[in-house]
Amino acid sequence: MILTLAYTTLTEKSAATSEQAPAQTAQSEKPKPCCVCKPEKTARDDCMLFSKSDNPEQECKSTIEQYKTCMAGFGFKV
């Protein structure tokens, strides 16, 4: 009786773990924010850093939007 109960409990835990595994795999397949949109990020950073304008944010608005759009495509909110 005890062995049957222990086996049933272990089997249920194993099944629950198996069901959770695909969810964890899906999360691990999502790329890290640092690894996507590198060209857009570089263009945005260069524009902001080397801008001669008094308001670089306004001058670089299009490159900032391109970067945000790219990141949103990967599921990140910037």
Binding residues for Cu cation: 34-35
Binding residues: 34-35
pTM over 0.75: no
Nearest to 39 by CA among 31, 50, 27, 47: 47
**Contact of 72 with 78, CB cutoff 8 Å:** yes
15-63 per-position pLDDT tens digit: 544 455 555 555 568 899 999 999 999 999 999 999 999 999 999 999 9
User: What is the C-alpha to C-alpha distance for residues 41 and 46, in angstroms, rounded to an integer?
Assistant: 8
User: Could you tell me the two tokens for 37?
Assistant: 């949109």
Return the exposure string of 9-24: e unless at least 16 CB atoms fall within 10 Å of the residue's CB, then b: eeeeeeeeeeeeeeee
